Structure 1
């Protein structure tokens, strides 16, 4: 357990922020841990392989009474803040382990609870192994969008995304994706791929686009200054993750036609052109997301499990507390105050407004908390600079008179 003296628990003055006119944003995205176990044993999993082991003491599956209480709290929150749209993400573990009936009941409960003026978008993050036709028919009936984790071709995917007996899951995931992209393509939201430096970046990208995903999210392996990501030196020593992502960016950006969206690259370009970030991974836009675990406890964001035991906890639950109570938790506030949550060296950085300090979970250092640059700082600088130069070159070229090109 980390010391209570770490930032933001100690050092972030929420009362002073409020006195100065700052107000928190209400939660518009709810991550529902509908099932707390998984049918795979991925060796990089931040839920089961990280410092926080609280999953061992929580229910395997979210009980109906927790679902009902959560739906009621979200409806209360939507009414109190006049929300016109909320997103509910069915998550885990592996959410499909909850079963068709429980998943359908949960979706129905949320849709029935929310006020008529508030649209409820429901989506699901799955490893894809249990995507049967029967399961997909339920999601089609209830309009549930589906994102699938896939780490590239068979060799790349099966290096980490394995069953407990060591057997790879690639063939099962591809079968599930084939069902999804055949009769249920309208539900297909995209793929999530965790970057592995041992996988060829271009081969990985080209394997991912075989199913014509509408979007790909490339995720950096979770790590902190205390427990660094694989081969990410904490004392300089190159930018291996940037080089990997740059190879993918160049292949994606210079393709003769648009093959898919890549969220990380599109968000960086959007920010470079003066837009607002729509992702917690990059930029300074406030994050308005709350997590509910299987026992009904409210958590800041589950990726904080990589930091220390109990890092995501708020001390609140859906039975005894309103969502508004979580809005002023220091950890929630820290992810909504943008520039004020950055380390001193980040505030003077040339790419400050683009990088935004990187993913909040990647800033942790034992004894200091989260008031640090991202452990991926050199990689983010290198990647953003490369994308910036590429886009700037093309904008300058486009601005030239046709005869001078």
Structure 2
């Protein structure tokens, strides 16, 4: 009996544009708040620590195949972990080169490694820069006190090595410095965190909300019921005002720029806001294809697809029900979200933050009041600036 041909993709299905490849699945730090290793998902325990040459080569071919099939002109390759530099800079560079060599000549591959930076030496930074691999650094803030929970397995602080790496990139390889990723902590002073990060001269900042949901609320929320305080929204609006009134653009803050673009009716490019389909897919160290890691904060195996790069294409992943649900826009949102005047900007918030054990993801974000606070605040600042420009 012949196998059935694969179900055709719906017309105009957007291809994946971001490929997150887990080159190493372990970490040299033991951050106590880590949702990946301390959260409900345990799939990482049964996977090899590092991706084998066979997995990486097959992944490179699959990425190139997908780009050629869809006529992709630009794609993002993110080298991830765990801590990807445990695999060595030379291996990361070789894989980036392999993907570029295989993809069509008219497709630009933008490669970034996301790292805690503790293993980034001058030699490794030079290797990555020479091969066009940009470096994004994960920090909790620009001062040692902000990073007290980012320690190695012996309890030693990660800050000294990480700050050396940030300064190394800023001083010697600015072209390879992608920026800094920081998770919002409402117990910190927002202006202090922002100003301290500017001291590290990042070209861009990513301010991320901690991964929480209705079943496992994020830290710092006294309750999730109506009329609750908005500690995360308050923190973000304080940073926005410092950034907005800075007199010049000191750095890019992606969350703020995306919110402004959406308020102006322009397309967005972040899974935290807006209705545009998420275009990221993950390849784990054993070659399995998974949805983005943030889903692992919801429940064990939440990101699983049952697919792998040896037997399946990325078009197969586009057909997966979980992927389809995350790319369904307003149709996948709760009724309260669809009726909200902030729908096209908020977009229901991050998909993982909508989870509740009794009904899955058919809910507003657990951060709904905080997001409303931020969006309305930015809208008011934009309206005031627009009105002032007209006078």
TM-score band (shorter)? over 0.9
Deviation at 1:108, TM superposition (A): 2.2
- Displacement of 1:48 after TM fit? 0.5
Task: Give the Cα separation in 1 of the matches to 2:17 and 2:374.
Answer: 30
Distance in 1, matches of 2:238 and 2:277, equals 30
Q: 2:69 aligns with which of 47, 65, 80?
A: 80
| TM-score in terms of structure 1 length | 0.92
1:197 Cα shift?
1.5
Match of 2:235 in 1: 244
The answer to whether the 8 A contact 2:141-2:147 is kept is: no
- Write out aligned runs for 1:3-14 (5 A): none
Do structure 1's residue 230 and structure 2's residue 210 form an aligned pair? Answer: no
Question: Is 1:110 the equivalent of 2:99?
Answer: yes
Give distance in 2, aligned partners of 1:229 and 1:156.
Answer: 21
The match for 1:325 among 316, 321, 330 is: 316
Structure 1 CA distance, aligned partners of 2:216 and 2:163?
A: 32
TM norm structure 2: 0.95
Q: 1:29–1:290: 8 Å Cα contact kept in structure 2? A: yes
CA distance in 2, matches of 1:394, 1:157: 33
CA distance in 2: counterparts of 1:309 and 1:179, whole angstroms: 38
Inter-partner Cα distance in structure 2 for 1:372 and 1:43: 28
Distance 1:114 1:256 in 2: 42
RMSD value, Cα: 1.5
2:298 pairs with 1:307: yes
Indicate the residue corresponding to 1:257 in structure 2: 248
> Aligned-pair distance for 1:23?
4.3
The equivalent position to 1:279 in structure 2, one of 263, 270, 276, is 270
CA contact (8 A) 1:44 1:221 kept: no
Residues 1:148 and 2:143 are matched in the alignment: no
Partner Cα separation in structure 2 for residue 356 and residue 115 of structure 1:
33
Partners of 1:379 and 1:156 in 2: how far apart? 25
In the aligned structure 1, how far is the partner of 2:199 from the partner of 2:138? 14
Secondary structure of residue in 2 paired with 1:47: helix
Which 5+ residue runs of structure 2 have no aligned equivalent? 1-6
Task: Give 1:198 deviation, angstroms.
Answer: 1.7
Partner of 1:48: helix, strand, or coil? helix
Contact kept in structure 2, 1:156 and 1:199, CA below 8 Å: no
Whole-Å separation in 2 of the counterparts to 1:161 and 1:95? 17
CA distance in 1, matches of 2:233, 2:84: 32
Q: Which consecutive segments of 4 or more residues in structure 1 shift more than 3 A? A: none
Is 1:268 matched up with 2:255? no
Which of 53, 57, 62 pairs up with 1:64? 53
Partner residue in 2 for 1:380: 371
User: What corresponds to 1:210 in structure 2?
Assistant: 199
1:290 has 2:281 as partner: yes
Per the alignment, residue 3 of structure 1 pairs with none
Is the 8 Å Cα contact of residues 342 and 371 (structure 1) preserved in structure 2?
Answer: yes
Unaligned runs of 5+ in 1: 1-14, 401-405
Q: Distance in 2 between matches of 1:162 and 1:385?
A: 37
Structure 1 distance, partners of 2:72, 2:389, is 41
For the Cα contact (< 8 Å) 2:139–2:147, is it kept in 1? no
CA drift at 1:335: 2.2
Look up the match of 2:389: 398
Render the CA deviation track for 1:257-290: whole Å, top value 9, x for unaligned: 2211111111111111111111111111111111
In the TM superposition, residue 154 of structure 1 has moved relative to its aligned partner by: 2.8
Q: CA deviation at 1:164?
A: 1.7
Is residue 202 of structure 2 the alignment partner of residue 196 of structure 1?
no
Give the Cα–Cα distance (whole angstroms) in 1 for the partners of residues 378 and 313 of structure 2. 42
Residue 155 of structure 1: CA displacement? Answer: 4.1
Q: Deviations over 1:42-84 (max 9, x none)?
A: 1221211111011111010010000011011111111111112
Alignment of 1:164-203 (within 5 A): 164-203=153-192
SS at match of 2:146: helix
Post-superposition offset of 1:26: 1.0
Residues 169-192 of structure 1, C-alpha deviations (whole Å, 9 max, x = no match): 111111111111111011111110
Q: How does 1:35-46 map to 2 (within 5 A)?
A: 35-46=24-35
Q: Which has the higher contact order (CA 8 A, sep 6+)?
A: 1
1:97 aligned onto 2:86: yes
Report the 3-state secondary structure (helix = DSSP H, G, I; strand = E; otherwise coil) of the residue aligned with 2:374.
helix
